[in-house]
Structure 1
Amino acid sequence: MVLLKEKPRTIGTDSDNSIYKDIEQSITPPSDKNEIFIDQINNDRITEYDSHGEVKRDLKARHVTMIGIGGTIGTGLFISTGHLLSQTGPVMSLISFLFVTTICFSVTQSLGEMATYIPVSGSFVQFITRWVSKSCGAANGWLYGWSWAITFGLELSIVGQVIQFWTDAIPLAAWISIFFVLLTALNLFPVKFYGEIEFWMASIKLTAVIGWIIYAFCMVCGAGKTGPVGFRYWRNGYAWGDGMIVSNNGKYAIAFINGLINAVFTFQGTELVAITAGEASPKALKSAIRKVMFRILVFYVLCMLFIGLLVPYNDPKLTENGGFTRNSPFLIAMENSGTKVLPHIFNAVIVTTIISAGNSTVYAGSRIFYGLAESGVAPKIFLSTTKAGVPYVAVLFTAAFGALGYLVVSNDGTVVFNWLLNIAATAGLVAWGFISVSHIRFMQVLKQRGISRDTLPFKAFFMPYSAYYAAIVVFTVALIQGFTVFWDFNATDFFTAYVSLIVFVVWWIMFHFFFFGFGKQAWKWSNVLIPLEECDIDTGVRDINDIEFDVPPPKNLWEKFWLIIA
């Protein structure tokens, strides 16, 4: 066994680097199965974990890229876009997508700059803990992990209804149980298997989306039975739906805000690229982050554009109670164009999408809970891993929330879907906001210590202005996205819109008392916001060159094309 004791240090002085060198030099390869980790919250504590407590860096560049883009192409794009279109009309839906794209770009860039510099599992949670406050980081981590766990329940709640496009002979509860067990089991395999499964499923999704875009372009130009569609559904007042001010069950709201939460949910998962930092090569991570936003912009915005061109916002199929697949604007566009076979093929793609999305949600949630345990704000049992490096306790804990999917058996499916969607989306917004805040703090610390951002492995664009923009906009949207409930107050609607914010505040206060309350320390501002000179930007930096991975150059035209899109 190797025993490691960290020397006393004054954070923010020139002695920092020498101390970390001393620590690094004092570690020799362990001869037995135990290793020592420095706890990243309380530097005066030594925590000993079994070597099986580490996750493995077995994800390659192609895995990381597909997790980033494939993980975001899911039920949000294929199903909830129909609700967005019916609520806001084609033009405002497109504007909503473009608006959220700007936020995603900023958040991904911020996370990329931090995660390539300090690649750790559950990365952004640890960044908030180090550079904002311990209590804020802990609350963010639990809320974010909770949002992914709830999203798993959401995916399970609709999988059976999608399959019922073909047959309803098998009850919903049976389909939920089958995929509940299947997706949980998949996440207990080594991470390289997860990466491989996600790569191929995401490849299917990408191919299907590209094929649909080509198909939609042909239909718009006149290849279908109805002749050229063009901008037919943007004329005669159709472009803006029911207008800039729309009615929703007697309540009034600006159309842009009314459908924004659906757009946000559609884009959530973009940050999955950086969550893989603890299990990916830094070079692979850097490459994936640079490309993913371009691809999301192309795929998502183009899809929304063509949906708005091919499906009128007031098409009754968008809102009828005929199952989620019947409400998918992708299938409605095919049916309206007179294509009989393609809807069945694309429905199979949607089933694959739900499997892939469910797979990603369990992966993301489990790694977040693993990171929380690594930072000392979640039970240490979450650090338990298999010999292959899979945090099986965190996986099982995350997957347990899949039981929420059974709510659809005794409730209206659309109602349950909207409950879970709003809760998960709002929680994701909070995470996006604090990613930007932690990046602002990170840049301030670098400036204070005279470290140029030009020396970083990855330098984010348009900073720091982009980070300020994202933080302000995201927190504003999180606060106003549910304001229509106050027009005609309903406890259920209020709970759906704001429970994530309430839970976050409760956790923040709870963890503040956990760290500093009950007479442990006198109250001071440094407990609320860590002073710049005490922010830790050193721990974990040495890991950045642990693994080198170069993406091989494309050998032919097909590989060049695939490299661009995937």
Structure 2
Amino acid sequence: MDPQKQAAMENTTSKDSSEKYLSKGPLDDQVSVSSWAQSRWSQRRSNRWDNRWSGRWNHHWSNDEDFRHGDEEDDILAYDDDDGECDESGLPAKGKFHDTQVKRALKPRHLGMIALGGTIGTGLFVGISEPLSRSGPVGSLIAYIFMGSVVYFVTQSLGEMATFIPVTSSITVFTKRFLSPALGVSNGYMYWFNWAITFATELSVTGQIIQYWTYKVPLAAWIPIFWVIVAVLNFFPVKIYGEIEFWVSSVKVLAIVGYLIYALVIVCGGSRQGPIGFRYWRHGYAFGDGYISKNKDEARFLGWVSSLINAAFTYQGTELVGISAGEAANPRKTVPRAINKVIFRIALFYILSLFFIGLLVPYNDKRLSDGSAIIASSPFVISMLNAGTSALPDIFNAVILITVLSAANSDVYIASRVLYALAGQGNAPKQFTYVNRYGVPYLGVFVTCLVGWLAFLVVSNNANTAFNWLINISTLAGLTAWFFICFAHIRFMQALKHKGISRDDLPFKARFMPWGAYYAAFFVGLIIFIQGYDAFTPWDTKSFFTSYISLILFGVLYLGCLIYYRGRLLIKIEDIDIDTDRKEVEAYVWEEDAPRNWWEKFWAAVA
């Protein structure tokens, strides 16, 4: 036999055996790579170049046996060679190099606390005043429990997909792959819009938090100050972002736990008011006076429906763990941990907080609906003022300030990664894929921060109205994303079945599926369409556009994308791609450090 043909056959046989070896076993097994794969990667590695002007290249591979990804070996550099301009050596021409890869630098404790702290913001500390005043303590509590069940299944759906295919801004990627390009692109831009508007919402509150202490500095002066702080923080490495969020989220968690203990003491009689118990749940206080309608039962139901949109805003960000999967070390382990603790966080930080708020603050307290002051209407602060504890309101106001800045920081982080993912798929200008030497998509950060200037809308005589307007716009956009998460997961499960892959072999199997996804998708879709009911009784054009502007914008985007892509309304099940970006992760083996002391064990349990 010809020696060249024999060598080619041996190489093919070696390659086939390597591919078989890599594909066997559970999907989350630690995969070692055969000698053929090692030699191929060694050859590629030896051909890489190292130019001073291009930045530092850090190899992922720590030894000759396994592909390993350590804590410090997290730098990947890629270059943009779309223009095809290279020098004589075959390297990109000078000035054409662009780093386009984010970095897997978020550790398990970072990811857990980001998922926990990202949802604790103005929605919890300030936003619950409106549902409390409209539907009373029991009505608002039921609304938050109901939305909590919906959010639980949304995160379960996202967790199963994001663990199997851990990519940055997974929501936009999954919608495009599992549904259709038109839906993926339009949903991606709406999701970016959601978090960009939420950033403006958080920023709009900062000045009023300061005004709780002093009015000497104008409200408009604080917005640009905090805008600069948040913008600068988002240009630092993602590892620093993770550290900041970890410690700030720790403050949030401790503050809420402290408040729950404080509230229990006050309810049992530890203040000048004496034992309060369920005083504000009696005498018709439980469901309040309702909203709009003169018929009490109808008004109470409408007030409860109104509370759902506020609850949805409060819970937004719970899905952040799915966005962060592309920058998480060992996502097959860290993402399921964070997802499985969602129900615990919902119960502890939202349901219990609202339960005690309903015991301490009557629904008809005029400060809850104060249209000129946002922070003064916070039920947390009102409950402390009612109890006569003079120092705690100031301390908690400082906690709210830290919380809002942290939430704003997370908003910019999420939105910039969404633009990065859209550009990576070719659905946004490729400049959004460029990252600085820290792996931060700087152009996405800058564009998102520009939307933050909408915070100046609250510089008016009716700041609370502007605040609620921003909430409605961002919440509806977020609900749209939740709907498509569930829809994409339903299609994902169908694709797995078609390809003969059992969900039992997945690194994370969502609970109560597929019925949980159907349940969440149905009620999210229902809320999207009925949340603006107050615009129809009587008809109010301004309220209609405030309630449905996000839905109208999505419809325009989707129609434009449908015309541009000229594809099917939905991708065929047999054409759904579940392999891209998955096999690369299966080739990594991450080494985790076990908790070394009681402090690390505590946060490992919480986060």
Same fold (TM over 0.5): yes
The residue that corresponds to 2:514 in the other structure is 464
Q: For residues 25 and 549 of structure 1, do their structure 2 counterparts lie closer, same or farther at Cα, with a shift above 3 Å needed? A: same
User: Residue 411 of structure 1: CA displacement?
Assistant: 5.5
Take 1:462 and 1:148, find their aligned partners in 2: how far apart are those partners?
A: 29
Determine if the alignment matches structure 1 residue 87 to structure 2 residue 134: yes
Matched residues in 1 for 2:488 and 2:167: separation?
15
Aligned to 1:522: none
Q: Measure the CA separation in 2 of the matches of 1:411 and 1:187.
A: 32
How big is the shift at 1:426?
Answer: 0.5
Over residues 381-429 of structure 1, what are the superposed CA-to-partner deviations in whole Å (9 max), with x where a residue is unaligned?
A: 1001101110000000111100101122245211110111000000000
State the 1:259 CA deviation. Answer: 1.6
| Separation (CA, whole Å) in 2 of partners of 1:312 and 1:303 | 15
CA contact (8 A) 1:246 1:255 kept: no
Aligned position for 2:604? 563
Question: In 2, distance between residues paired with 1:188 and 1:293?
Answer: 32
Are 1:284 and 1:549, in contact at CA under 8 Å, matched by a contact in 2? no
Q: 1:262-411 residue pairs with structure 2 within 5 A?
A: 262-281=310-329, 282=331, 283-410=333-460
Are 1:506 and 2:548 counterparts? no
Q: Which amino acid aligns with 2:165?
A: I
Which whole-Å CA distance do the structure 1 matches of 2:97 and 2:490 have between them? 35
Which residue is equivalent to 2:65? none
Contact 2:370–2:464 (8 Å) recurs in 1: no
- Percent identity, please: 50
What is the Cα deviation at residue 444 of structure 1? 0.3
Cα shift at 1:223: 1.0
Match of 1:189, SS? Answer: coil
Native 8 Å contact 2:292 2:302 kept in 1? yes
Q: Does 1:55 align with 2:102?
A: yes
1:24 deviation in Å? Answer: 12
Name the CA shift for 1:50/1:431 in 2 (closer, same or farther; >3 Å). Answer: farther
State the match for 2:577 in structure 1. 536
1:73 aligned residue (120, 140, 146): 120
SS in 2 for 1:429: helix
- Alignment partner of 1:552 is 2:569: no
Letter in 1 for 2:278: F
**Distance in 1 between residues matched to 2:593 and 2:378, nearest whole Å:** 37
Per-residue deviation, residues 135-171 of structure 1 (Å, max 9, x unmatched): 0000000000011001111111111011100001111
Residue 211 of structure 2 aligns with which residue? 164
User: Which whole-Å CA distance do the structure 1 matches of 2:525 and 2:604 have between them?
Assistant: 35
- Give the residue type in structure 2 aligned to 1:165: Y
2:185 aligns with one of 131, 138, 143: 138
Assess if the C-alpha contact under 8 Å between 1:284 and 1:550 holds in 2. Answer: no
Q: Structure 2 length normalisation: TM-score?
A: 0.83
1:232 deviates by 0.4
| Structure number, greater radius of gyration | 2
Q: Is 1:61–1:551's contact at 8 Å kept on the other side of the alignment?
A: no
Q: Distance in 2 between matches of 1:101 and 1:25?
A: 51
Conserved in 2, the CA contact under 8 Å of 1:118 and 1:543?
no
Alignment of 1:481-496 (within 5 A): 481-496=531-546
Counterpart check, 1:417 vs 2:446:
no
State the Cα RMSD in Å.
2.5
User: Structure 1-normalised TM-score?
Assistant: 0.89
Deviation of 1:107 after TM superposition, in Å, equals: 0.7
After superposition, where does 1:407-446 map in structure 2 within 5 Å? 407-410=457-460, 412-446=462-496
Measured after TM superposition, the shift of residue 564 of structure 1 is 3.0
How far apart in 2 are the matches of 1:426 and 1:445?
29
Pair 1:210 & 2:257 matched? yes
Task: Indicate yes or no: 2:275 matched with 1:258.
Answer: no
Instruction: Report the count of equivalent residues.
Output: 530
The Cα of 1:222 is off from its aligned counterpart by 1.1
Tell me, in whole angstroms, the C-alpha distance in 2 between the residues paired with 1:497 and 1:187: 31
Q: List gaps (5 residues or longer) in structure 1.
A: 1-16, 40-47, 517-525
Tell me the distance in 2 between the aligned counterparts of 1:476 and 1:38.
46
1:31 correspondence with 2:48? yes
Alpha-carbon distance between aligned partners in 2 of 1:493 and 1:303, rounded to the nearest angstrom:
30
Aligned AA (2:289): D
Which 5+ residue runs of structure 2 have no aligned equivalent? 1-18, 24-35, 55-76, 83-91
Task: List per-residue Cα deviations over 1:351-383 (Å, max 9, x = no partner).
Answer: 001100110000010001111111111111100
The alpha-carbon distance between structure 1 residues 561 and 297, as it changes in their structure 2 partners (threshold 3 A), is same
Q: CA deviation at 1:245?
A: 7.9
Match of residue 176, structure 1, among 209, 220, 223: 223
Indicate yes or no: 2:274 matched with 1:233: no
